[in-house]
Structure 1
């Protein structure tokens, strides 16, 4: 559907088709247990080159409404679990790589993230949503319209904090994260938050 909203499974398809592929799909079983619970927000931190971005691509391929991943996950470890198809491609997914935004939009990063996601929303909902409202209210509106909660995946979430000396930007970014994962609205619209 979009680049950031309900992405395709292309990233995971490429990873799975690579000469060296390690099946980490059983992670999805653990995430399924946390969907729409009080433990729905997960932060993963490991040393570089540990496969965090690979896992993020696998997660969006599994949950995103923007694709059909049934063939992609057949014959993986998760496919041996009885309810593995129950959650597949059933969620609105937002997947962000903050380092990509940082490279291009250091000065107005939060505004650009919101702008790009809203552009994807407009492709799906045209003017059926009031995009002038606060971002978490926009997400709530999408949830109310579709009755499908969000899985939000943020790769390199700490990029801004590691690289910026601008306290206002860091504060704005932390407020943005709060709106996604800790706002009153997120209690309804968020099924899973996964940050690396």
Structure 2
């Protein structure tokens, strides 16, 4: 079974850029994308308007991917993963959270995965967003609420003590080096 770590945090915190760079540098052997974001770009839907069915689809896709990763080797980095997806649901569909936690508890990696939580202030989300450039204030508010929900989600999954917080308001190369050191430790 590989070593799995996840990077969670709000929009514009650098999750995708950091995972791509870690993979290119050879710090990780596999990179798992953010399933909910992949579906957003494929389907062109309103992010905040997704319902319980969507939350369950994402959770089950994550679980299937986890099971497929069991037979791989090396270091796997996954973007958002179960904690991040559940934090989204806590904002969009709070009634879904308990079912999503139950799906996450079926992951073969839940007891050993290490987490990196990228923290970013609301104002920087508003400055950096290109996806939601037509409504930067909405993006700052929505994604800050998701970030605020992460602590409770990580605690409910028993992962808070295995998750390191990093301030991503500094330059990306500094954040990348911090994350790289954590993964190699």
Higher helix share: 2
TM-score w.r.t. length of structure 1: 0.38
Specify the structure having the higher radius of gyration (Cα).
1
Say which structure, 1 or 2, has more relative contact order (CA 8 Å, 6+ apart): 2
TM-score by length of 2: 0.40
